[in-house]
């Protein structure tokens, strides 16, 4: 019997848009499509798979400006800021990280995607006004070396 990890390694890059999207993966795994679909449904129900979705090429849509925005948000404002940030489609990731007093005071990191740099700056200014925070930095990438979804590592 194949493990969940083995199944996820085969389907993590997606399935073809066909009448039998799991056929090829099932053959590769030595299972029937029915068995594979049942296992995938179980992983979905158990929360192991968050969702199946289209992987959109933002650049082809013209969304070419991406920035990490680092925020210094006081603890007392965090409960207000997080729900606001979570509700914005332009933000793909939100992380709280430790700070280094006197060296690096930014405790919240967001990744913002928009059509151009000015749009990112405008969006960020509006967000800062909304959460009443003025200590933030917009960090655009200099070069992109890798841009993929996270993948399962091969078990060793």
Domain of residue 123 covers 59-140
Q: 93 with 111: CB under 8 angstroms?
A: yes
Query: Which token pair is 66?
Result: 């991406």
pTM to 2 decimals?
Answer: 0.79
Contacts of 105 (CB under 8 A, 6+ apart): 72, 99, 135
Mean pLDDT of 43-48: 94
* pLDDT tens for each residue of 135-149: 999 999 888 888 777
Q: Is residue 69 part of a domain?
A: yes
Shared domain check, 67 and 13:
no
* pLDDT value of position 104: 97
Same domain, 69 and 130: yes
In a domain, 149, yes or no: no
Domain count, the chain: 2
Same domain (yes/no): 135, 65 = yes
Q: How confident is the model at residue 155 (pLDDT cuts 50, 70, 90)?
A: low
- Check which CATH number belongs to the domain holding 84 and give it: 3.30.70.3460
> Do 64 and 132 reside in the same domain of the chain?
yes
């Amino acid at each position: 019997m194949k493990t969940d990890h083995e199944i996820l390694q085969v389907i993590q890059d997606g399935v073809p848009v066909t009448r039998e999207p799991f056929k090829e993966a099932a053959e590769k795994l030595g299972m029937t499509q029915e068995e594979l679909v049942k296992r995938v449904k179980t992983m979905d129900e158990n929360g192991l798979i968050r969702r199946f979705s289209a992987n959109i090429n933002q650049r082809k849509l013209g969304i070419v400006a991406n920035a990490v925005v680092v925020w210094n948000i006081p603890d007392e404002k965090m409960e207000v800021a997080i729900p606001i940030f979570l509700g914005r489609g332009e933000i793909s990731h939100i992380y709280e990280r430790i700070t280094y007093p006197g060296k690096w005071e930014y405790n919240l990191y967001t990744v913002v995607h928009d059509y151009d740099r000015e749009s990112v700056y405008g969006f960020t200014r509006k967000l800062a006004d909304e959460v009443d925070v003025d200590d933030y930095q917009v960090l655009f990438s200099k070069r992109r070396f890798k841009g993929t979804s996270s993948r399962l590592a091969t078990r060793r």
